[in-house]
Structure 1
C-alpha cells in the first residue's frame, strides 16, 4: 500500500522524538472534551477500526486509532477472513514490541490532551485489548476497555498499578486465550475494585468485529452497549 493510499489521515509525534505515528482521526460535530483511543487488532487501521472511530465520533467523542505497526509495517490494512492476510497479521504480531506499543498509546493521550480532551478512554481489540490492559497500569488513561485481549494472563503482576476503571470482555471459547489463561485472569482481576470482567459464553475471539465471519451480532451488541455505558459513566 502506497503512502497516499494509507488508511490514516494524520500523524502524531511519538515519544522521545522517535518519529511520527500515522493515525486515523474521527471528529465529532461539536468540540468535545471527551476522547477515545481505538487500539487496533493485528490487522491494522482497517475499515472496521475506522468504523469504530466514526461511531465514537457520532456519539460526541474525539476518536483516534494509531497505527500500532508503524515502525515496521506502516499502512497495513488486512482482512481477517482472508487466510493469507490472517497469516500475514500473525507474523506482524510476532514482531511487535508491546512496551513500545504502550508508549504509542501514551503519545496519543498527550496529543489528545493538547487537542483539548480532559477525559480520555481507550478501547482495544485482541492485541489492542492487551495494550488497553497495559495502558490502564502504565498511563494516566481515565478508563480502559479490552475485548478478547491476548496474553493478559502473563502480566497480571501489573494489575496493582491500575488505579482507573478497566473493563475486559472475555469470550469463553476464545481459541487464542485458553480456559486456563481465563481462569488466571478471573482469579487475579476478579477481586480488583477497579476491574469489571464480562464473560461471553461460547463465543470466540473477534466476536465484536465490525463485520465479517467472526462477528456474533448478539454478543457484539451486548458488549458494545456495556462499553458505551462504561465510558458514559467514567468519562463524564
Structure 2
C-alpha cells in the first residue's frame, strides 16, 4: 500500500488516498473503494487488498478529511459507533461526491492502469457509489447495503453505466418499505441489477465485522468480481 495526496476540486485542501497495486499485471482497471462510516479502517484496507489480489488497482480516498483526517475505527465498541455516527451526520455527501470524482480521475491516470475505473462502496459508501452512478462518468458502480437508496430514484434515470446493488434482507438501517420502493422503482432500468440476500443484516460483507455472513459475502463478492472483470478489463 502507498499513499498519495489529491487536491480537492474546490481548492480547499489536499486529502489522502491509499493505493493497493496488483502484482505482475501490465495494465489493470482501477477500483475506487468507498469507505463506511468507520473511515479507511483496517476492514476496508483488507477489502482493498482483496481487489488488488484479484488483479485490479484499488484506491481508497479518506472522505472524512474535512472533519478528521485518518479515521480508522471499528464496529466493536459503543464509543466507536458513537464517533462513526457523529462523523456520518456531519459529513457533506455532495462534497464527498466531488472528492470521489477527483479520485476517479486520478485512478484513471495511475501508472499501470488501463484508463478504466469504477467504484465499489459499503454502507455510507454504498450510497455514495449509487450517487456516483448518477453524477459521474465511472465505468461501473457497485453498492453494498447502501442506505436510503430509494431517495435517489429520481436520479437513476440518468444512469449510463452498470450499477449493481447488494441489499441485505434484514438491513436495520434501510427499512423494508424503502427497500421495496427501491426494487419497484428500478425494475425497468436495464442498467441496474439488484440482489437481495436473505436472512442477513447490514454489513454482511464487512471483513471481520460483527454481522459478517460468509455465504452471502462470498456470493456478493463473486458477483462483484465478475462485473468488474467484465467492465474494467
Q: In structure 1, what is the equivalent of residue 16 of structure 2?
A: 22
Q: Taking structure 2 as the reference length, what is the TM-score of the superposition? A: 0.95
Q: In structure 1, what is the equivalent of residue 44 of structure 2?
A: 49
* Cα deviation, residue 8, structure 1: 7.3
Q: In structure 2, what is the equivalent of residue 232 of structure 1?
A: 229
In the alignment, the residues of structure 1 paired with residue 160 and residue 42 of structure 2 have an alpha-carbon distance, to the nearest angstrom, of 33
Stretch deviating more after TM superposition (28-37 or 74-83): 28-37
Provide Cα deviations, 1:193-231, integer angstroms capped at 9, x if missing partner.
Answer: 000000011210010001132201111111101100111
Task: Check if 1:131 corresponds to 2:128.
Answer: yes
Assess if the C-alpha contact under 8 Å between 2:109 and 2:115 holds in 1: no
* Cα deviation, residue 9, structure 1: 2.3
Task: Check if 1:95 corresponds to 2:71.
Answer: no
Structure 2 unaligned runs (5+)?
A: none
* Cα deviation, residue 102, structure 1: 0.8
In the alignment, the residues of structure 2 paired with residue 50 and residue 32 of structure 1 have an alpha-carbon distance, to the nearest angstrom, of 22
**Aligned positions, number:** 230
Structure 1 runs of 4+ with >3 Å offset: none
For the aligned residue pairs, the C-alpha RMSD in angstroms reads 1.4
Q: Taking structure 1 as the reference length, what is the TM-score of the superposition? A: 0.94
* Cα deviation, residue 117, structure 1: 3.8
SS of residue matched to 1:49: helix
Provide Cα deviations, 1:18-64, integer angstroms capped at 9, x if missing partner.
Answer: 21111211011234241000001000011111111111111111110
Q: In structure 1, what is the equivalent of residue 180 of structure 2?
A: 183
